[in-house]
Amino acid sequence: MLRLPLISFLLASGLAALSASDYPYRPVPFTSVRLTGGFWQQKQEVNRRVTVPFALKQCEESGRLKNFDLAAEVMRRRAAGEKDFQIKPPTIFPFDDTDAYKAIEGAAYVLSMQRDPALEATLDAWIARIAAAQEPDGYLYTFRTMHPDSPGHKWVGKERWDLDPELSHELYNAGHMYEAGVAYYEATGKRQFLDVCLKNAELLWRTFGENRRRLAPGHEIVEMGLVRLYRTTGDGRWLKLAQEFLDARGPTGKSYNQQHKLVIDQDEAVGHAVRANYLYSGMADVAALTGDARYTAAIAKIWENVVSKKLYLTGGVGALSDGEAYGKDYDLRHDGYNETCAALALMMWNHRMFLLTGEAKYMDVFERTAYNGFLSGVSVSGDRFFYPNPLSYDGVAKNNHGHAGRAPWFGCACCPPNLMRTLASLTGYFYAVRDDSLYVNVYAASEGTLKVRDTAVKLTQTTDYPWSGGVKLAVSPEKPATFTVRVRIPGWVQGKPVPSDLYRYESPATAAWSVRVGGEVVKASPENGYVAITREWRAGDSVELDFPMGPEKVRGNEQIAATRGQEAFERGPVVYCFEQADQPLPEAIADNAKITAVARPDFLESITVLKVDGLTAVPYFAWNNRGLAPMKVWVSVKE
Max CA pair span of the chain:
81
Burial of 14 (0-12, 13-18, 19+ CB in 10 A): exposed
- Report which of 449, 309, 333, 423 is spatially closest to residue 371, judged by C-alpha positions: 423
CB of 540 to Zn ion, least distance (A): 46
- Report which of 75, 93, 87 is spatially closest to residue 137, judged by C-alpha positions: 75
Helix, strand, coil shares, percent, the chain, to 5: 40, 20, 40
User: Please, which residue, 7 or 415, has the CB nearer to Zn ion?
Assistant: 415
| Near Zn ion by CB under 5 A: residue from 194, 246, 283, 341 | 341
Specify the stretch interacting with Zn ion by CB under 5 A; choose among 120-128, 320-328, 339-347, 470-478.
339-347
Output the 3-class SS for 395-441. CCCCCECCECCCECCCCCCCHHHHHHHHHHCHHHHCEEEECCEEEEC
CB of 620 to Zn ion, least distance (A): 18
CB of 283 to Zn ion, least distance (A): 21
User: Please, which residue, 341 or 489, has the CB nearer to Zn ion?
Assistant: 341
User: Please, which residue, 89 or 377, has the CB nearer to Zn ion?
Assistant: 377
User: Please, which residue, 339 or 364, has the CB nearer to Zn ion?
Assistant: 339
CB of 388 to Zn ion, least distance (A): 9
User: Please, which residue, 341 or 459, has the CB nearer to Zn ion?
Assistant: 341
One-letter amino acid at 71 equals A
Residue numbers 251-270 binding Zn ion by CB under 5 A: none
Which runs of consecutive H residues, i.e. helices, occur in 133-169?
Answer: 142-145
User: Please, which residue, 145 or 340, has the CB nearer to Zn ion?
Assistant: 340
User: Please, which residue, 23 or 385, has the CB nearer to Zn ion?
Assistant: 385
User: Please, which residue, 280 or 547, has the CB nearer to Zn ion?
Assistant: 280
User: Please, which residue, 246 or 414, has the CB nearer to Zn ion?
Assistant: 414
User: Please, which residue, 377 or 466, has the CB nearer to Zn ion?
Assistant: 377
Specify the stretch interacting with Zn ion by CB under 5 A; choose among 65-73, 141-149, 334-342, 510-518.
334-342
Phi and psi at 103, nearest 5°, equal: -65, -40
Q: To 5 degrees, how large is the angle CA 376–CA 382–CA 388?
A: 30
Q: Residue with the closest Cβ to Zn ion?
A: 341
| Alpha-carbon span 613 to 151, nearest angstrom | 60
Calculate the CA 535 to chain-centre distance: 34
User: Which string of x and - marks every residue 391-430 that binds Zn ion (by CB under 5 A)?
Assistant: -----------------------xx---------------
Q: What pairing do the DSSP bridges indicate for beta strands 552-556 and 566-571?
A: antiparallel
CB of 374 to Zn ion, least distance (A): 11
CB of 418 to Zn ion, least distance (A): 6
- Report which of 77, 189, 200 is spatially closest to residue 134, judged by C-alpha positions: 200
Specify the stretch interacting with Zn ion by CB under 5 A; choose among 126-134, 283-291, 335-343, 605-613.
335-343
User: Which string of x and - marks every residue 359-398 that binds Zn ion (by CB under 5 A)?
Assistant: ----------------------------------------
Which uninterrupted H or E stretch holds 130?
Answer: helix 117-132
One-letter amino acid at 88 equals K
CB of 100 to Zn ion, least distance (A): 15
Bond into 388 cis (ω within 30): no
CB of 340 to Zn ion, least distance (A): 5
Phi and psi at 405, nearest 5°, equal: 85, -175
User: Please, which residue, 341 or 442, has the CB nearer to Zn ion?
Assistant: 341
The strand pairing partners of 320, in sequence order, are 325
| Alpha-carbon span 193 to 185, nearest angstrom | 7
CB of 382 to Zn ion, least distance (A): 17
CB of 170 to Zn ion, least distance (A): 19
Which uninterrupted H or E stretch holds 277?
Answer: helix 273-290
CB of 385 to Zn ion, least distance (A): 9
CB of 225 to Zn ion, least distance (A): 17
The strand pairing partners of 600, in sequence order, are 607
CB of 172 to Zn ion, least distance (A): 12
Q: Contacts with Zn ion: how many residues (CB under 5 A)?
A: 4
User: Which string of x and - marks every residue 280-319 that binds Zn ion (by CB under 5 A)?
Assistant: ----------------------------------------
- DSSP annotation string for 470-518: EEEEEEEESS-EEEEEEEE--GGGGT-SSSSSSEEESS---PPPEEEET
CB of 367 to Zn ion, least distance (A): 21
325 in contact with Zn ion (CB under 5 A): no
- Report which of 310, 209, 326, 207 is spatially closest to residue 260, judged by C-alpha positions: 326
| Alpha-carbon span 203 to 209, nearest angstrom | 9
User: Please, which residue, 354 or 374, has the CB nearer to Zn ion?
Assistant: 374
Specify the stretch interacting with Zn ion by CB under 5 A; choose among 79-87, 158-166, 277-285, 337-345.
337-345
User: Please, which residue, 412 or 521, has the CB nearer to Zn ion?
Assistant: 412
User: Please, which residue, 402 or 565, has the CB nearer to Zn ion?
Assistant: 402
| Alpha-carbon span 483 to 538, nearest angstrom | 11
Q: List residues binding Zn ion (CB under 5 A).
A: 339, 341, 414-415
